[in-house]
Amino acid sequence: MLNGNGLDLGTYLAEPALVSQLSRAELAELLLQVRALEGVLLIRLLADPSDSSRRHRPDSPDPDPNDRMLTVDEAAALLRKDKRWIYRRKRKLPFVHILSERSLLCSERSLRQWIKQHQS
């Protein structure tokens, strides 16, 4: 179901069964919209000042809407470390955003800056 600017995500949220009528190209476009929305929602969640998970990290920068949030697996791959390395150091690493004890996201921009600072 196309609107003037492409697919209308709201239509498919209201009636998920309509997804079965979409072509592969339309499915890909809709999935891109979902991923973009997910990124905005994560940034908003991380920017919430009432979020108690950030209280222990007063030096943690506010999320940048142009920054990409990485999973622990993605961050570990960039660092060439095991993901357990990140979990053990989560409170000390400036690029880590703690959503819960077992749920972390990592700022790609901050991670790349940290890597540059710690290269030998």
Lowest mean pLDDT among 19-23, 88-92, 96-100: 96-100
Tell me which amino acid residue 54 is. R
The pTM of this model reads 0.51
User: Where along the chain do its domains lie?
Assistant: 1-47, 49-120
| pLDDT for 32 | 83
| pLDDT for 111 | 94
Beta-carbon contacts of 42 under 8 Å, excluding residues fewer than 6 positions away, are 63, 69, 105
Give the burial string for 84-115 (b: 16+ CB within 10 Å, else e).
eebeeebeebebbbbeeeeebbbbbbbbeebe
| pLDDT for 48 | 59
Lowest mean pLDDT among 30-34, 38-42, 83-87: 38-42
Integer Cα distance of 99 and 46 in angstroms: 8
Inform me whether the pLDDT recorded for 4 exceeds 60: no
